């Protein structure tokens, strides 16, 4: 069953010279409940634009996006989705505990302290609970962003380059954690990433987007039948 | 509008203040130094013009009060943008209305506390102020409503125009105050400015404030009407500007 339905969505922006161009051009796709769905494509292809429209932060010029049967950005939908990105930022003077505490309150999570404690342990952030955001390392920030997105146990998790700039060993840990989130909670995950290994490890299906157009939607298993690896697939797809 | 979302935002604001205590100093610095300057001036001016001293002191109190009200709300928003946390806030299901209401609550509490301090100090310099305290409090409420209305509009403008226009958070009020004829009757302006002045948020408040301190009778009709008009117009304008920012892509890249 589709939990996200994108149909005929277009978004135009103006470039520096004032010329209009399509950041997303007549995109349609449906994402199934419980799957990890990756959106791939070169820089500037329109991935973040598409995700921002699913989040309701950006309104499409044309077409519709429904999330859990409601219009994207709908108040009830917002309560059930989480978002984290690898370069997510929070207020510099708040501590990890403060930041997660705010999320707990904003989502009226029951048993807030216990939930936050669980997440701190899950991501190994217990030791920096009282450190201010400014003082965290890149990896700790990325993990905090993930923890933040999970406070309310979302049904859909949007991850925009969740392991951006992380060491290989931390990336591997974070990936395992993402996989565990899906396994444990059955959440649907929408992922964008430039690390093909990551996509190969995590995703069930991939949409390839280039110059705003969705070129292809295929399963990772299907891609592996025709290409030695995802990197190879990516390069071929960009060539067109 | 859901109260728990606003409570969560206020909790966050209180943590930010608790984690950086110098903020209290920053908020108090200009209002308190300025009320001291004009307080001493009012003492000095008793020898040549009692009224000038009183008017300067009173209007400066209203000016600082309006500034703290509007700028607290808008600077908080700029901080959310600078720190890149606006996106996380909005994605936590806080709607644009809940967001701005929480900013207005913090701004109102902060500016009323500053006002109480300023009036306290003014009473030391001019004990006779206590006779007109009631009217001053009434006019302060209209000032608060007007400055919060401006805060709502400026929030909408920054969201639509982008963070490079963030400077209007701390500059816009100056122009409104100037055009509201703070220390002098609006008739002092040349005619085109006079017409503009008639429709400025603080013109009628300042006018009545000048009457109050010299013991003339005051009328609250026009100040009440103009501040409410601004407040009522601010909301649809804000919602329109926010929607525009969602369409143009500005909201998504604000931070
Ligand atoms: N708000 C905006 N206003 C104008 N142009 C925009 C806006 N947002 C994105 N763009 C442009 O739209 C295109 C698609 O951008 P988008 O951020 O969606 O790409 P992306 O696929 O996420 O790229 P990356 O891999 O680099 O993150 C780019 O050319 C970008 O410059
Ligand atoms: Mg992107």
Residues of A whose CB is below 8 A from B88: 83, 88-90, 148
pLDDT digits (tens, 9 = 90+) for A127-175: 999 999 999 998 899 999 999 999 998 999 999 999 887 888 888 888 9
Which residue's C-alpha comes closest to atom 24 of ligand 1?
A43
Whether residue B11 and residue A101 make contact (CB cut-off 8 A), yes or no, is yes
Q: Is A13 close to ligand 1, i.e. is its CB under 6 Å away?
A: yes
Question: Residue B33 has what pLDDT?
Answer: 96
Domain boundaries, chain B: 3-254
Q: Is A49 close to ligand 1, i.e. is its CB under 6 Å away?
A: yes
Domains of chain A: 2-80+154-239 (3.40.50.300), 91-153 (no CATH)
pLDDT digits (tens, 9 = 90+) for B110-150: 999 999 999 999 999 999 888 888 899 999 999 999 999 99
B137 phi and psi angles, rounded to 5 deg: -65, -40
Judge whether residue A203 has pLDDT over 80.
Answer: yes
Which residue's C-alpha comes closest to atom 5 of ligand 1?
A13
Ligand 1 pocket test target in A46, A58, A61 with most atoms within 8 Å of CB: A46
Q: Are A32 and A38 in contact (CB under 8 A)?
A: no
Q: Are A82 and A188 in contact (CB under 8 A)?
A: no
Q: What residue of A is the nearest CA neighbor of B20?
A: A93
pLDDT digits (tens, 9 = 90+) for B182-239: 999 999 999 999 999 999 999 999 999 999 888 888 899 999 999 999 999 999 999 9
Judge whether residue B100 has pLDDT over 80.
Answer: yes
Token pair belonging to B35: 């009320």
User: Torsion angle of alpha carbons B5, B11, B14, B16, nearest 10°?
Assistant: -80
Whether residue A52 and residue B252 make contact (CB cut-off 8 A), yes or no, is yes
């Amino acid at each position: 069953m589709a939990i996200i339905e994108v149909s005929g969505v277009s978004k135009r922006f103006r470039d520096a010279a004032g010329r209009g161009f399509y950041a997303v051009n007549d995109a349609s796709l449906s994402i199934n409940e419980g799957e990890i769905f990756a959106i791939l494509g070169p820089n500037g292809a329109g991935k973040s634009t598409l995700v921002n429209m699913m989040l309701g932060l950006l309104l499409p010029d044309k077409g519709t996006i429904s999330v859990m049967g409601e219009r994207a950005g709908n108040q009830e939908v917002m309560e059930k989705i989480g978002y984290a990105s690898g370069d997510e930022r929070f207020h510099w003077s708040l501590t990890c505990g403060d930041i997660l505490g705010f999320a707990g309150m904003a989502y009226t999570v029951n048993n807030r302290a216990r939930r936050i404690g669980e997440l701190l342990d899950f991501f190994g952030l217990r030791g920096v609970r009282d450190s201010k955001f400014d003082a965290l390392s890149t990896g700790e920030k990325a993990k905090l962003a993930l923890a933040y997105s999970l406070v309310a146990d979302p049904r859909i998790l949007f991850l925009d380059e969740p392991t951006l700039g992380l060491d290989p060993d931390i990336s591997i840990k974070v990936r395992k954690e993402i996989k565990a989130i899906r396994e444990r909670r059955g959440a649907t995950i929408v992922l964008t990433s430039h690390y093909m290994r990551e996509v190969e490890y995590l995703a069930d299906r991939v949409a390839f987007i280039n110059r705003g157009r969705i070129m292809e939607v295929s399963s990772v298993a299907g891609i592996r039948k025709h290409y030695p690896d995802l990197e190879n697939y990516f390069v071929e797809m960009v060539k067109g | 509008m859901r109260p728990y979302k606003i409570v969560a935002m206020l909790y966050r604001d209180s943590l930010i203040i608790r984690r950086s205590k110098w903020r209290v100093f920053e908020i108090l610095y200009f209002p308190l130094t300025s009320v001291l300057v004009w307080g001493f001036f009012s003492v000095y001016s008793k020898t040549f013009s009692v009224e000038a001293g009183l008017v300067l002191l009173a209007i400066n109190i209203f000016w600082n009060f309006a500034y703290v009200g509007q700028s607290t709300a808008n600077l908080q928003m700029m901080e959310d943008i600078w720190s890149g946390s606006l996106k996380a806030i909005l994605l936590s299901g806080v709607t644009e209305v809940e967001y701005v209401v929480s900013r207005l609550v913090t701004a109102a509490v902060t500016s009323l506390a500053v006002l109480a301090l300023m009036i306290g100090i003014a009473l030391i310099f001019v004990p006779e102020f206590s006779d007109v305290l009631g009217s001053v409090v009434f006019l302060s409420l209209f000032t608060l409503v007007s400055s919060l209305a401006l805060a709502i509009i400026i929030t909408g403008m920054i969201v639509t125009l982008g963070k490079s226009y963030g400077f209007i958070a701390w500059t816009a009020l100056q122009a409104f105050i100037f055009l509201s004829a703070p220390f002098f009757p609006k008739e002092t302006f040349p005619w085109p400015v006079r017409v503009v002045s008639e429709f400025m948020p603080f013109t009628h408040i300042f006018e009545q404030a000048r009457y109050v301190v010299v013991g003339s009778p005051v009328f609250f009709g026009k100040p009440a009407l103009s501040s409410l008009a601004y407040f009522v117009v601010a909301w649809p304008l804000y919602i329109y500007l926010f929607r525009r920012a969602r369409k143009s892509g500005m909201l998504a890249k604000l931070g």
